[in-house]
Structure 1
Amino acid sequence: MAGTLDDDAITTHLKELPDWSRAGDEIRRELTAPSFLAGIDLVVEVARAAEEADHHPDIDIRWRTVTFALSTHSAGGLTVKDFDLARRIDRIATEHAAQ
């Protein structure tokens, strides 16, 4: 099991992820898709990446707005796994924006 990160480590990781913010023991990013179906396509691709990583975000879909929240529940807080998946979500979001 991955160990939780302290506040300094979390702050350092968040500096590399400017679209993410901390909310307690999770990090969050909200994206606005050009259409509802584009948002669903984004979610599907993130779901595949999450399966590969064996680390699954909480996902909230509100029409074109998709919010991803990451926390390592089994560790009781934020771990490197959360930031690794956040980077992967950022890459996927960038690819979707270019389409």
Structure 2
Amino acid sequence: MTFANVGTIDVQPGHRDDVVAILSRHNPQLAAAGCLSYEVGVDDEQPDTVFVAELWTSREAHDDSLQLESVKEAIAEAMPMLTGDMGGHRFEVAGSPLRD
């Protein structure tokens, strides 16, 4: 069943675009690991927040992706620019009007 991870990442003031650049860097390993969609967004009304919406083939595929060297490197690069505050929701997708 498809797994969704939708969240927010609070960043240090002035570092939103830096974190967006790191998170949106092309990474074909994610698709190979089971990532169906990985969207990074911003809202100018929340200048110190990055939004991420991910769809995965399974929760396990998402969890396993955290062991990829490219993912570990991206996390390490972004970490000094984060405040540590994160929010969001994780859930199994029950259905979609876009798929059978």
TM norm structure 2: 0.48
Greater gyration radius? 2
Higher share in strand: 2
Q: With a CA cutoff of 8 Å and minimum separation of 6, indicate the structure with the bigger relative contact order.
A: 2
Higher share in helix: 1
TM norm structure 1: 0.48
